[in-house]
Structure 1
Amino acid sequence: SVGRYISGFLLVCLIPWLLNLRVPLSKMLSLRSQLRATNQLDNFMMNHQNPNFLISELICIVCYKAQYFGQISLGTPEQNFTVVFDTGSADLWVPSFYCVSQACGKQIHSLFAPTSSSNIFHSSHVHKLTKVIYILKLNLNQSICHANFGESVYEPGSSFVMAKFDGVLGLSYPTLSKDLGLPVFDNMMNQNKVDQPVFSFYLSTNASNGFGGELLLGGVDEELFVPPINWVPVTLKGYWQIKIDEVKLQGTTTFCRSHSCQAIVDTGTSLISGPTVEIQILQQLIGASPTSIGEYVVNCTRISSLPVVSLVLNGVEYFLTAETYVKRVKICISGFQATDVSSSVGHMWILGDVFLSQVYSIYDRGQDRVGFAQFSDKVKRSV
Structure 2
Amino acid sequence: MLLVAALAPLVVLATTVVADPNAIPNSPISISLPITKQINLTGTFHPSQRDQNRWMNLLTGGQASTSEITEVPLTYSIIAYSANIGVGDPPTYYSLTVDTGSANTWVGANKPYSKTKTSVKTDDFLNVPYGTASVNGTEYEETVTIAPGVAIRQSIGVASNSFGIYPFDGILGIGPKYLTLDTLFPDNTSIIPTVTDNLYGQGKIEQNLVAVSFEPTASEPVIDGELTFGSTDSTKYTGDITYFPITKTLPSGRFWGVDASFIYGNAQGKKAPVTILDTTAGVIDTGTNQIGLGTDAYNRYVDATGAVYDENTGLLRITPAQYENLQSLFFGIGGRTYELNANAQIWPRTLGVPGGEKDSIYLVVFDLGSIISLDLGFIAGQPFLERYYSVFDTGNSRVGFATTPFTYADIN
Q: TM-score range by the shorter chain?
A: 0.7 to 0.9
CA offsets per residue over residues 174-210 of structure 1, 9 Å max, x none?
A: 1101237221111112111113222111101146343
| Matched residue, 1:321 | 341
1:336 matches 2:365: yes
CA distance, structure 2, for counterparts of residue 243 and residue 335 of structure 1: 21
| Matched residue, 2:28 | none
Change in 2 beyond 3 A, CA 1:84/1:223: same
| Matched residue, 1:134 | 140
Task: Choose which of 204, 216, 219 in structure 2 pairs with 1:205.
Answer: 216
| Matched residue, 1:184 | 195
SS of 1:278 mapped into structure 2: helix
CA distance, structure 2, for counterparts of residue 60 and residue 349 of structure 1: 25
Task: Choose which of 44, 66, 74 in structure 1 pairs with 2:87.
Answer: 74
| Matched residue, 1:22 | 32
The code of the aligned residue for 1:243 comes to: D
CA distance, structure 2, for counterparts of residue 192 and residue 344 of structure 1: 42
**Pairing of 1:1-383 with structure 2 (within 5 A):** 16-20=9-13, 21-29=31-39, 31=40, 33-35=41-43, 40-41=44-45, 59=72, 63=76, 66-95=79-108, 109-114=110-115, 117-127=116-126, 131-141=137-147, 142-156=149-163, 159-160=164-165, 163-177=166-180, 178-179=183-184, 181-206=192-217, 208-236=220-248, 237-244=253-260, 246-251=261-266, 252-257=273-278, 260-292=279-311, 294-327=314-347, 328=349, 329-330=352-353, 331=356, 332-340=361-369, 346-376=375-405
| Matched residue, 1:3 | none
Change in 2 beyond 3 A, CA 1:219/1:315: same
CA distance, structure 2, for counterparts of residue 378 and residue 41 of structure 1: 27
Change in 2 beyond 3 A, CA 1:337/1:344: closer
Please, which runs of 5 or more residues in structure 1 have no aligned partner?
Answer: 1-13, 97-108
* TM-score normalized with structure 1 length: 0.77
SS of 2:199 mapped into structure 1: helix
Q: In 2, are the aligned partners of 1:90 and 1:172 still within 8 Å (CA)?
A: yes
Deviation at 1:265, TM superposition (A): 0.8
Q: In 2, are the aligned partners of 1:28 and 1:68 still within 8 Å (CA)?
A: yes
Q: In 2, are the aligned partners of 1:91 and 1:170 still within 8 Å (CA)?
A: yes
Deviation at 1:322, TM superposition (A): 2.1
* TM-score normalized with structure 2 length: 0.72
The code of the aligned residue for 2:276 comes to: F
SS of 1:66 mapped into structure 2: strand
SS of 1:192 mapped into structure 2: coil
Q: In 2, are the aligned partners of 1:174 and 1:238 still within 8 Å (CA)?
A: no
| Matched residue, 1:106 | none
Structure (1 or 2) with the greater helix fraction: 1
Deviation at 1:62, TM superposition (A): 9.1
CA distance, structure 1, for counterparts of residue 97 and residue 382 of structure 2: 13
CA distance, structure 1, for counterparts of residue 216 and residue 123 of structure 2: 44
Q: In 2, are the aligned partners of 1:64 and 1:269 still within 8 Å (CA)?
A: no
Q: In 2, are the aligned partners of 1:325 and 1:354 still within 8 Å (CA)?
A: yes
Pairs aligned (count): 338
Q: In 1, are the aligned partners of 2:213 and 2:227 still within 8 Å (CA)?
A: yes
Q: In 2, are the aligned partners of 1:199 and 1:216 still within 8 Å (CA)?
A: yes
The code of the aligned residue for 2:177 comes to: P
Please, which runs of 5 or more residues in structure 2 have no aligned partner?
Answer: 1-6, 14-30, 54-61, 129-135, 185-190, 267-272
Deviation at 1:301, TM superposition (A): 4.9
CA distance, structure 1, for counterparts of residue 332 and residue 408 of structure 2: 23
